[in-house]
Structures are given as C-alpha cells and as structure tokens.
Structure 1
Amino acid sequence: MAAAGGRVVPHPAHKKHPLPKAESIEVSGIRRAFTHGAAQHLPDADTRLTAERLTERGVVDLRGLERVAPNLTIQSINGTASTNFYLRGIGFNDFTQNNMGPVLAYFDDVPFAYSTMSSGLMFDMADVTVTPGPVGTQHGQSDSGGEIRLRTNDPTDSFHYGASQDIASYARSRSEAYVSGPIADGLSFRLAGQTRHGGGWQTDPLNGDHLGDADEWALRGKLRWQPDSRTTIMLSGHVVQDNSEVVGAVPIHRLIGGAALPTVGWQQSEWSARPEFTRLIGRKDGLKPSEHNWFWGWDLNVRHDFGPVTLTSISAFETEREGEYTDQDATAAAQADTYRTVNANAFTQELRLSNSHPDDRLQWVIGAFYQHTRMNQRFFFDYTDYVPARGYLQATSFGMDQESTSEFGHVSYRLPKHVTIFGGLLHEIDDRSITGLQSEIFGRSVTNFHAESTAAAQFAGQVGVSWQAARNVLLYYKMSKGFKPGGFTANNTQLQAQLAPFRPETVLTYELGLKSDPIPNRLRINAAAFYNDFHNQQILGTVLIPNYGPLSQLTNAPKSESWGFEGTLDIHPFRHLFLTQNLGWQRGNFQDFPTVNRARTNAYYAKTGMWRAINDNFSGVDNGQPKLTLNGQADWRQALSPRYGLEFGPDWSYRGAQALTPGGTGFYRLPPYFLLGAHMTLRPSNEHWQATIYATNILDRHYYTSGGQATTVYMYIPGAPRFIGGRISCGF
C-alpha cells in the first residue's frame, strides 16, 4: 500500500523475504536499472515513471502520458489545453469542464478539481504514478476511475542548479531551468521555470496564416523548513501564463446543409473570427484559435512524526482564469465559432494520521478531506452563417458552487506464510448547484433559467489479500467500490430540462494481479486483470431540441460493464539492451442505456429536413473505448570510453479505434493509429550534462487524436506530424 505523504510502505513480508539489491548495470559509470524495486511488493497495478523515462519519451504535458502507460487515453478537447482522461475505459467527454472527472490529476499531493488547472505544470519533475481503479481510501479525493499523481522535485540541502534547451521542427522551443539549495540551518528552497514557444504546424489554405504556436511560461517555487528531525513544513506556489494557439480541426462530414466541405491538406485547417464577434468578446481583430489563460495557486504541506504516529496536513488553493477561442466547425464560415471564459477557484484541505513504522505487522491510515470550488463560465457563439436555422450571436453564462467532505481509512495486517490482508472504507458527502444560467440571443431574446442542485452521500471501499509467493513473486486480489458525484450539463442550454442533474456513478471493480522478477536483473513481468460493474455510468449522450437540433448532454447509462487486462514487460537480455513494453486491452458494453441515437437522428434530418428524435437503447452495444493500447521502447546503452556513454533506440505507441458517440460507426469512430519515434543521447559518467537528438512520428503518419460534432459538421483533431529535434541539458 502507499501510505500518507506519498511514503511507500514496504510489503510486510520483507522480513521473511528481504529485497534484492537494486538491479543495475554500469555503462561508463552511468547507473541503469529496473526502477521501483520496492514497489514490486505492493498489491497494485500502478504504472510508476521516473523523470528520466519522461524525458526520454518527450513527455512534457499530461497528454504525453498515454505514450508511457497502458490502458490510458488523454484527449484534448477541440485541440485546447482542456483534457479528458480515460483509464481502463473509464472516463467521459466533458466539454465545459465544470464537472468532476472520473480520473483525477494530482500535483504534489494536491488534487486538481478541474483538469485545465494542471496545464503547464509538467516541468522539473521527480516522478509520475498512474493508478487505475477506484481510489480514495488512503488519501485525497475519492474517484471511480483512478488518479495520476505527479510529483515535482523538492528543495535540496546542498546547492544545485541546471538548465535544458530543446529545439525542434517548426521553430519549436522549450527551455527549463532550476536552482535549489540551503538558505539557513533547516531552511532550503527550490525555484524552477519553463518557457515554450513555436511548434505550430498548421496553416489556413485560404490565406496562408500560421496556426499552433505555443506561447507559455511557468514558475514554481518551494520553501522547505525542517525545524527539527521530526517536522517538515513545505510551502509551494506556482503561476502559469498560456497564450498558445490551439490545434485547428479538420471537417470530416457535413451533417447539416448542402455546402461542400473545404478541401484541406493534412497540415491545414480553416478558421475565421468576424470583427463583430471579436468586438463582442473584447479581443482584437484577426484573432486565431488560441488560449489566454492564467493559472496560479499555493499549497502548504506540514508533516510531523510523533513517534508512534505521523500527522500530515495539506492545504491548497488553486485558481483558473481562462479565455479560449475555437472555430469548432473548422471552416471559414461562422457556424460554430466559440469563445469561452472561465473563472474558477478551488480550496482543498486534507488531514491524515498514519503509523510511523513501516515494518509493523499492522499498517493503517485514517483521514479526512474537504473541497470547496466555485466557477463562473460564459460562452459566446457566432452562428451568423448557420442559416436559416439560427443566424445570430448568442451567449450562455452560469455559476457553479460545489462542496464535499469525506472521511477515509485503510488498514493492512501481515499474517503468517507471507499473506497480508487489507481493506479500506470511505464516506463522502457532495453538494453542488448551478446558478444564474442565462442564454442571450443578441438582438432577439434573453432566457433565464432557475437554479438546480444535486447532493449525494455514498460509501466506497476496498478489501483484498496479497501473497508473497516467493522472494520475487507477488500475487494479489482485491475488490473496490468507487463513487463519483453527479453534476450538470451547461453548454448551450435551450430548455430548463437540460439542466436536470445527472446522477452519481458507482462502480464495483474486481482485480487480480501479479508482480514478478522471475529472472532478477533480467526479466520483470507485471500484469493485472479487471472487471468493472457500473451503475449509472456517466457518459456523454444526446438530446434533441425541437427546431434546433441535437446537443450533447451528460447523462447516465443505468447498467454497463467493462473488463480487460494490462501488463508491463521489462527485459534486459544482455549487457547493453533494455526493453520495455506496456500492453492494455479492454472491452465493455452497455447493458441498459436508453438515449437518442445521434447517427440515426442526423441521418433522418439529412433525408427529410426535419428534426425528429430517433430513440434507441444501446443494450449490448460496445462502449467504444480503444480495445488495444501498446507502447514501449528499446534502449541500447554503450560505453564509448571510460568517461562517456551513448544510449539510443526506438519507441512506439499504438491506440485502437474509438467510437465518439454510443454505438458510433463510420465517421463517428476515430481511426486507430501507430506512431514510431527514436532518440540518441550522449552523456558523461558524472551525469553533469547530456545531449540528445530525437524524432517523433518518424513515419509522418496522418492520424487523429479526438473529435466530435459542432452544429453543422463532424470534425476531427489531427495529431502532430514528424518532429525532429535536439535537447541539451546540464545540472550541477
């Protein structure tokens, strides 16, 4: 189990089966190893990633994590900084990002209520852990799908500094720097920052305008005070400004109207913002699809060891100020131009009490978590060229208040014969409301909607058993119940009924796992199989507004299920070669899901020119999530001399087809893709610097990362073409 404060508690059977020394091989004095040896004795299916692995694979944002973990999909929303997570197929598409996701992101033990808040913070990283399945009995916020815990580097007791510069195709530039060291006795600091520029690879075929350049900077500061050997107080703060352009969409199919879709090349996208629209939203003429975001926050982590028990307190406040323009119909026509503003704040407080001795037979943690969030959003829509159905400018605004409290506990006990039993319990109360929702059609009408609220009180928990069958083999089985509160759909509201809250989601997960090093230092096999039994799974469905058209609406599938497995294979067959392969496979279907069939409804309109809801029950229909995900890399590590070493090799990733609507086929299904990359790194034995050349998407494959419907068209978001770059870093 993972105890409070991110401390890894060794498996209790270690007293009988002491851990082997860390597997390693020396190449010109450079240590290489299978990492996270102690975690091989923990009953979980977590994917643990070192900072070195993240750098090797070019993972500089959350989306990149899907290239290094199994059964994980992270998709940008319309090419923007906002993201949706899917882990083991659990996730949902929330365009407005005003609801809690089924998979949460943490930075330094702080959960981010809204995923956009975590933008721009993946620099100066220590490690990342991806945890699938229901969580919440050991720390933080409960959730039904899992969590992604990102940990940044802490202050050091001795003086260190370093920097890196990455330059690649399309004038892409990434710069990072840090400085860390002591200030006074027991007091130390760390300051780190990054900037990102360029990299835009799209153009507008109508006028040759450039699109997609990054323009972002971020700073993070940490101050650590250790007044005595038992107490650590860490104060952290960060700020991010993001004025980056977004990736433009490619129209795939005309749903409404007879106008031909624009013919665009692979690296092209059309857009336009009419002067009337830019004046309305208070932006300059010639606005490109882009972000205008500020994020900032602070957290205070206090940890004190009382001897028999350790107390941890984590207080945090996060702020999001977002302005985002997207041309969602991906044409020069003003049929779905959208500008969104978001003002959001989140305060969280966690208290944990745990035993201080990891070798005790009895391991336990109890705690409480509190969260309070507030959000205000306003959407501006330009439908001027969407005639005769609309042909107007529109704005929708609303406020959101949310408050939740939870109490949790987890305990494990070591029995004879290297068997450990464990269990946890969670109780959560969540209240949220949507207020002040107003829809204004400029020059025509203003519609005000009355407030809606929803509340939930649920129990969740976990029970399991693990067996250290041999010194290097662990087997475990666990059952977990996950809970996620309900919420609201708030985008482009036309009827009061659209604000009816969707219900809480619960899932009962069964998991059987294996962790093994059958040939120490040479072969590692980790695998887990799972089955998810959902009740009221939250999913993006469809509602038809009379004389208006179909709109997306978050709703519940009363009964559904999914199952699958994931595994990681690490091989070091001989001195120079290191291989890693992640594999994820999952299937699922709806057992009961009555909703509007969007494909058939759109087809009926195309044939008759009239809107009529074609209702359907998707019982027995596949859930649409990618069935197979693969990613891995091979490294050849070669000594060039006693002082220098060379490392090079390929990396690869594959994601299967994904249905973008329930039961979606044809253009409603995102095609599969395979990507190939490579890198070569030169470094000295003292590790003070390293130089790398790399390439991503070497085969220059044309592929799509996400998609959806925007009024008149169905569109896809294309993935990046081939990038070739170089990176130099140093640290002292």
Structure 2
Amino acid sequence: MRSIGSRAALLHLLVGTSVATLALTSTAARAEDAPAAPAEATQAAPAPADTGLQDITVTATRRSELSKDVPLAVTTIGGEKLDVLNSSGLDIRFLSSRTPSLQIESSFGRTFPRFYIRGLGNTDFDINAAQPVSVVYDDVALENSLLKSFPVFDLQNVEVLRGPQGTLFGRNTPAGVIKIDSAKPSDTFGGYGSVSWATYNTVNAEAAVGGPIGGGFTFRASGLLQHRDNWVTNTSTTGVANKKLEGYTDYAGRLQIGYTSGDFDALLNVHGRGLEGTPRVFRAGLFQQGSNNFSPGFDPKKVAIDGYTSQSLSQWGADLKLSYHIAGAGTLYSITGYEKAAVESTGDIDGGNRYVFPALGLNNALFPSNTGGRSRPTEFSQEIRFQSDEFGAFRVQGGGYYFLQKLHYDEFDYKFPATGNRAADLDADINHADTNENYGIYASVEYKPVKDLTLRAGGRYSHDRRDDLVSGFSPFLFGNALPIRTKASDGYATWDVSATYAVSPLVNLYARAATGYQGPAIQDRVTFGSKPTAARKQTTISAEGGIKGSNADKTLRFAIDGYYYDTKDLQITAVGGASNSARLLNAAHAVGYGIEIEAEARPVPPLTLTASGSWNHTEIRDPNIGVSPCGAACTVTNPVVGGLAVINGNPLPQAPEFVGNVTARYGVPVGNGEAYIFTDWAYRSEINYFLYAAKEFRGRSELQGGLKIGYTIGKVDVAAFARNITNQIRSISAIDFNNLTGMINEPRIIGGEIKVKF
C-alpha cells in the first residue's frame, strides 16, 4: 500500500502541474496579446463558405489516409461528438454501441473493460485472460485489461478497426483494434478548460494547454478529474460492507514533450492515473426465476450486501516515439512503451445478505462468497518500423516488434461471518507470477497498377511464450498441490490482401481477406477443484467487402460493408456453474457474418445527422463441447447431457444481433453566438451473458439516449446535458454460480457544463 500511496502522490503532482501550467500559460498569453486594431480599421470578416462535410483522415494502415481510401471497416469518433458522448464522468465503456458491431462491458466497474467486435471477445474476468480486441493508446498496444481502462481525455480521435488486424497491429487482434490518439503538441499556443457538475455530485473537470517552448521543443499538458458520490445505499444491517456504494474519484494526467529538428522528430509521453472507489455492485436475486425481468422490490439505488468492498488503482507509464526521414527512401520509426499498474479490488460476489435454499428473490444467495485480489501488471514493448516514400506505383512498410509482460496477482477469499479484521478474515491467498512474451516481424506492400486501382498485401509472423506459476494457500484446493507451473508456447503467420477501386473520384469499392491470431492462453485458477488449463492458439480467417463515398456537394457521406469470418479453436472459458470451477477450452469453430452501415448528412447547413448500425450473426459450431450450467436455480434452454449444457449453435456471449445509433445536431445564430441542440441514441438487441443459454441470463434490449443544449459565444460554451435521459435500467451482465445475480447500467445523469478555449 505504501507503493500505491507514493504513486498516487506522483499522479497528484502530474495533474496539478498540468492545471498550474494551464493557469500560468493562459495568463502569459493574455499579457502578450497584441493591442486591438483601431475601431475605424476593423471590418466584419465575411462568413466562411459552407464546404459541406469535412474529409475524415484515419491512421488504420499506420499512415494518414482518407477513410474512403482505406480497404477495411473503420469508424472514427472525434470532435464535438466525442466530447458529448464522453461527458458526465463516464469511462471508456461509453463507446459501447456507438459504432457498428462494438460492445464493451465490465464486472469490475471502471478498472477492467472487456471489448467485443463482431461478437468476438472474452467474458473471462480473470486478470490474465487474453482478449481478441487490442487497445492501442498513442501507438502502444495495451495487453492487460486493467491497463486498457486508462481514461480517455484530451483526445484527437478514436478509431474502431473491425476485423482481423494481424499484419500491422499484431497478435491478439483477430476481432479488431480500438485505436486511441491523444491531442499532440503543436507550435501554436492554445488549450481549453471545462468543468461539469451533475446528478449524484458527478464532477467532470478537464484541462489542456500546449504550444512552443523554443529551440524546436513543444509541449502539451492535460489533466482529468472525475468524481461521483456513492449513490447506492446498502440496506444490510449485518456484515462489514460499506453503507454507501458505486462512487469514485478518478484522476489522470498526461505531459507530452515534442522535439523537431530537420528530418528528426521525437515525442515523449508521460502519463498517470489514480482511482479510489467501490467495485461493481452485484445484486443477488436480481432476476425472477423463469424470466429476465427484475425481481419485485428491485430499486437501483438500494442493495443488501454484507462482505468487504473496496477498489483502488494506481497506474503510470511512459512512451517515446522517434522518427527520422531518410531523403529519397522513407521514414524510420521507433516506438518504446512502458506501463505499470497496482490494482486492488474486493467485492461481495454473492451480492446478498440472506442465505437460503432455494436462493430466489432479491438479496438471497445460497452461500456467502467474498473475494478480491491485488494485481500488478507491468508491460514493456518496442517496435521498429520503416515506412517508405512513394516509389512510382509502390509503397512499403515493415518492422519488428517485441513485448514482455510480467503479471503478479493475489486472489483473496474471506471468511464468513467477517470480524472486520481483514488480515484475520483472510481464508485463502493464491499467488500468481505470470510471464507473457511475444515477438513479431511484419511487412506490407501497396501497389497501384493503374490510376484507379490500389492493391495491398501484408504478412506477419508472431511467436508467444507464456509461463504461469501458482502458489499460496486455500482450503478449497481439493487435491491440488501447490506450487503448480504451466507453460504454453506457439507461433503463427498471419496475412491480409485487399483491393480498392475508385468507381469515381467520390466513391470507392473495396474487398479484403485477412487472418488473425490469438496466442495460446493459460487459465490458472486452482480453487473449488479447478486445475490450470491451457488452450491452443486461436486463428481467424475473414473476408469483407464494401463501398465508401460521398455525393458531389459533400452533404452526404456513407460506408457499407458485409463480412464473414471463421474462427478456429475459439478460446472460451467455462466459468461458474454449480461447482464455481473454471476451465479454458477450445471450441472447434465460431462463425460470424453481417452487414454494417454508416452515414453522415448535412441536408441544410445548420443540421448534421449521423447514423450507423449493424446486423451480426454469430454461432458456436462444435457438437462435442459442453459447459457447466448455472449453480443457481436458472432455466437452462440448451440440452444438458452428463451435467453439461450443449452449446453447439449458440450465439457468442455479449454479441447482440442488432446494434444501431443516431445523432443529430442543429445550431442557429443567436446574437453574437450560436445556440445548438445535440442528441444521440444507441441501441443494442438482446444478448446472452454466458456460453450456455438460460431464460434469466439473456439480457433485454437496451436503448440509451443523450441530450445536450448549449450556447457558444466566441471561445466560451455553456450547456446543459443529460445521459440516459429515459433512465432505462437494464442488466448488462450476471454471475451464475450461486444465485440469480446481475449487474446494471449507469443511471440517468443530468447536469451543466462550461468550456473555455484559448
């Protein structure tokens, strides 16, 4: 805990420095402003001509290109839309359902997001679980899900790359990539500050400042503070759980220093985060037996739990990006990343305070279960990449990549009834020391045989090595003798080929085939009779094709694609069930296919509309695989053979068939400024929480809406906003081993915001 405190002090210093720098530099800027021109020389500037929708530039191919020229399905969120969606103190989960085929959920709250693209993801809540969606933050791939939760603030944009990205982004990307790019230093001084206050004392404060330092150096400092009071009351009169829950204080800072000298560029990025709060609240007996409706008496603002509850996180990292342009050849890049975190999270897993059989009804469980852990992931990565200039009809890029993760974590289990002395109540302490090492080499080539046709092809070889050591003590080992060491090692070559054809200067057709790879995985839980298990590598082959373009006056932009994939040896984790065991398995196949559509329109200059959606079909194909069904009194709808639910033909977990979202912005001049209204709506259809199907554990469809009404004058914006404006409460996940436990979404938040740019 001492190390967490010292890191927290460092984070406070980093955020404080960012805010102080903002205040000082803005004062200096005002002092240096040139005097105003004489009144008689001042003339009103003519209104700029309306040029329609602005072109979208993406870096999905590791180069800056127009989105319509990129031969893959990619969605960009930036500017005002990103600011609106990321309001009211939300974390990265705000992106869920905001682009086609994307879902994000967590059973840990703000510290462990799980991503799903086109249905491919991993519901496993274990700290060492591998995910098939990579998060690349400022060109550094983050592997551990605890690190993937770093807050999104002061951003340039977010890109969602759908489908395998095995060549340019590497292994563990068979489903796609979430690419996040922060705003970079520039040689123009400027910045902003914003603060909002909302329901449950929700505070979202953000500030950034940047500009030239001199001698070729530039800087950008930014900081974020998010807070919410505990808004859920614990009605239990027994136990040791906190009486108020679901609050947090989350703060982060980032300092970037850039340097340019001729053909050489360097960018140093130092960042950190601290979080104090409560873990995800589990709600015992949330579902009525035989349906997915909530039990009578359910109140989102109340729960009854009796176990220990706590959560804290300290994270910091640094990355260095170097580039040197070699005249007549290309640019050589070096990207070095280092990330480290210390996380503690403990929750009342049964979610109740009454223990009865059968465990039906609100707050009822079969038996108490209070678990937690302390995790310390450390990741180092190094990439060297060469990107050529254009040589006639050719462009190439390629490089090498190395990644090393050290993960140490402890799993705790507490006695019941608890005495209030955590050390004395500790009933189990399982220690894990894991190593995950990967290296890869890759190359990609682009060729234009004729003016309107672009061909691309690439390949990558990746190799993974994992080594897990389990030690410690637990009364629930059931025959396991510790320590236990498990190893796994394998490699794979991935590739992609694509073609883009310009039907006209405004419309492109594209087709793409690609493969993806997820390295071998290890599941190393040992309690309740579970034994460490390893799964073979998971591979995906995919094909997609589409059309992208706009109309002549740029009042309409669109993208439509269709895709198909087949994932072989799908890694799945069968968790929970009557024995609360965990097994890592390979299903023979999982297939998915669907259609994705995006459109943006400006029918008249004051009005901007966006809409996107997807239809996704996913299916597990393995007639010989079965998993343990629920230990609770749930209603399983799959055949049960030999105590195992047959999951052949089931959709993938957390994979809705339909996803859709729309936004609308309308602004009109009022006085010397603009009054505007912005609304956004996101929908997803029903989902399965687990590999097997049960009536209680099928999430109902969800429709979330937001609204922002504001006035902008000069560089000042004042607005009122609401998130989840209909206050629709839905269960987003569940726990099945003990009772009919579920977790719910964020409540309605209403507040006001002011933002100042300079």
TM range (shorter): 0.7 to 0.9
Which of 732, 735, 757 is the equivalent residue of 1:705? Answer: 732
Identity of aligned residues (%): 21
- In structure 2, relative to structure 1, the CA distance for the partners of 1:702 and 1:604 (3 Å cut) is closer
- In structure 2, relative to structure 1, the CA distance for the partners of 1:640 and 1:148 (3 Å cut) is same
One-letter amino acid of the counterpart of residue 660, structure 1: Y
1:534-545 to 2 correspondences below 5 Å: 534-542=567-575
Q: Does the CA-based 8 Å contact 1:253-1:715 persist in structure 2?
A: yes
Cα distance, 1:34 vs. partner? 4.1
Distance 1:599 1:445 in 2: 23
Quote the residue 2:43 is aligned against. none
Which of 697, 703, 718 is the equivalent residue of 1:668? Answer: 697
One-letter amino acid of the counterpart of residue 210, structure 1: K
1:22-171 to 2 correspondences below 5 Å: 33-36=53-56, 38-58=66-86, 60-139=90-169, 143-171=173-201
Give the paired residue count.
Answer: 671
- In structure 2, relative to structure 1, the CA distance for the partners of 1:186 and 1:499 (3 Å cut) is same
Cα distance, 1:374 vs. partner? 0.6
One-letter amino acid of the counterpart of residue 67, structure 2: A
Q: Does the CA-based 8 Å contact 1:169-1:199 persist in structure 2?
A: no
Deviations 1:485-508 (A, max 9, x none): 121223353447x31201111010
Distance 1:458 1:430 in 2: 9
- Unaligned runs of at least 5 residues, structure 1: 1-25, 274-286
Quote the residue 2:431 is aligned against. 397
Alignment pair present for 1:316 and 2:337:
yes
Deviations 1:93-117 (A, max 9, x none): 1211313310011111001011211
Q: Does the CA-based 8 Å contact 1:565-1:584 persist in structure 2?
A: yes
Quote the residue 2:411 is aligned against. 379
Distance 1:392 1:324 in 2: 14
Quote the residue 2:749 is aligned against. 723
Cα distance, 1:597 vs. partner? 4.2
Distance 1:30 1:337 in 2: 60
Q: Does the CA-based 8 Å contact 1:623-1:663 persist in structure 2?
A: no
Quote the residue 2:396 is aligned against. 364
Matched residue SS, 2:281:
coil
Q: Does the CA-based 8 Å contact 1:139-1:367 persist in structure 2?
A: no
Matched residue SS, 2:340:
strand
Matched residue SS, 1:81:
coil
Distance 2:698 2:47 in 1: 47
1:247-646 to 2 correspondences below 5 Å: 247-251=280-284, 252=286, 263-273=297-307, 289-307=309-327, 308-332=329-353, 335-357=368-390, 360-382=392-414, 384=416, 393-416=427-450, 418-441=452-475, 447-495=481-529, 498-542=531-575, 549-592=579-622, 594-599=624-629, 614-624=643-653, 625-641=655-671, 643-646=672-675
Cα distance, 1:253 vs. partner? 5.1
Matched residue SS, 2:81:
helix
Q: Does the CA-based 8 Å contact 2:468-2:522 persist in structure 1?
A: yes
- In structure 2, relative to structure 1, the CA distance for the partners of 1:360 and 1:211 (3 Å cut) is farther
Q: Does the CA-based 8 Å contact 1:392-1:442 persist in structure 2?
A: no
Distance 1:158 1:718 in 2: 45
Matched residue SS, 1:63:
helix
Distance 2:106 2:705 in 1: 21
CA RMSD, Structure 1 to Structure 2 (Å): 2.9
- Unaligned runs of at least 5 residues, structure 2: 1-45, 58-65, 355-366, 419-424
One-letter amino acid of the counterpart of residue 484, structure 2: H
Q: Does the CA-based 8 Å contact 2:194-2:756 persist in structure 1?
A: yes
Cα distance, 1:52 vs. partner? 2.3
One-letter amino acid of the counterpart of residue 741, structure 2: M
Cα distance, 1:39 vs. partner? 1.6
One-letter amino acid of the counterpart of residue 310, structure 2: S
- In structure 2, relative to structure 1, the CA distance for the partners of 1:446 and 1:483 (3 Å cut) is closer
- In structure 2, relative to structure 1, the CA distance for the partners of 1:382 and 1:294 (3 Å cut) is same
Matched residue SS, 2:443:
strand
Distance 1:657 1:365 in 2: 42
Distance 1:529 1:449 in 2: 49
Cα distance, 1:156 vs. partner? 2.1
One-letter amino acid of the counterpart of residue 327, structure 1: D
Distance 1:667 1:445 in 2: 34
Quote the residue 1:5 is aligned against. none
Matched residue SS, 1:44:
coil
Alignment pair present for 1:714 and 2:743:
no
Which of 248, 252, 269 is the equivalent residue of 1:214? Answer: 248
Cα distance, 1:266 vs. partner? 2.4
Distance 1:319 1:506 in 2: 29
One-letter amino acid of the counterpart of residue 373, structure 1: Q
Give every structure 1 segment of 4 or more consecutive aligned residues whose post-TM-superposition deviation is greater than 6 Å: 26-32, 442-446
Alignment pair present for 1:694 and 2:694:
no
Matched residue SS, 1:349:
strand
Cα distance, 1:616 vs. partner? 4.5
One-letter amino acid of the counterpart of residue 313, structure 2: N
Distance 2:470 2:317 in 1: 27
Q: Does the CA-based 8 Å contact 1:138-1:365 persist in structure 2?
A: no
Q: Does the CA-based 8 Å contact 1:590-1:623 persist in structure 2?
A: yes
One-letter amino acid of the counterpart of residue 502, structure 1: A
- In structure 2, relative to structure 1, the CA distance for the partners of 1:492 and 1:310 (3 Å cut) is same
- In structure 2, relative to structure 1, the CA distance for the partners of 1:27 and 1:602 (3 Å cut) is farther
Distance 1:632 1:617 in 2: 38
The alignment's TM-score, normalised by the length of structure 2, stands at 0.83
Cα distance, 1:512 vs. partner? 0.8
Deviations 1:439-480 (A, max 9, x none): 423999994142010011111110111101111111111110
Matched residue SS, 1:56:
helix
Quote the residue 2:677 is aligned against. 648
- In structure 2, relative to structure 1, the CA distance for the partners of 1:583 and 1:331 (3 Å cut) is same
Cα distance, 1:604 vs. partner? 10
1:170-189 to 2 correspondences below 5 Å: 170-189=200-219
Q: Does the CA-based 8 Å contact 1:433-1:452 persist in structure 2?
A: yes
Q: Does the CA-based 8 Å contact 2:97-2:684 persist in structure 1?
A: no
Cα distance, 1:342 vs. partner? 0.3
Once the two structures are overlaid, the 10-residue window that deviates more, 193-202 or 520-529, is 193-202
Matched residue SS, 2:629:
helix
Deviations 1:291-325 (A, max 9, x none): 21111111110011012111000011100101011
- In structure 2, relative to structure 1, the CA distance for the partners of 1:542 and 1:596 (3 Å cut) is farther
Cα distance, 1:182 vs. partner? 2.1
Q: Does the CA-based 8 Å contact 2:628-2:645 persist in structure 1?
A: no
Distance 1:451 1:593 in 2: 32
Q: Does the CA-based 8 Å contact 2:556-2:599 persist in structure 1?
A: yes
Distance 1:697 1:43 in 2: 35
Q: Does the CA-based 8 Å contact 1:88-1:132 persist in structure 2?
A: yes
One-letter amino acid of the counterpart of residue 94, structure 1: D
Cα distance, 1:612 vs. partner? 9.9
- In structure 2, relative to structure 1, the CA distance for the partners of 1:605 and 1:647 (3 Å cut) is closer
Q: Does the CA-based 8 Å contact 1:111-1:141 persist in structure 2?
A: no
Distance 2:279 2:71 in 1: 41
- In structure 2, relative to structure 1, the CA distance for the partners of 1:616 and 1:715 (3 Å cut) is closer
Matched residue SS, 1:666:
coil
Deviations 1:501-525 (A, max 9, x none): 0111101001011101135321111
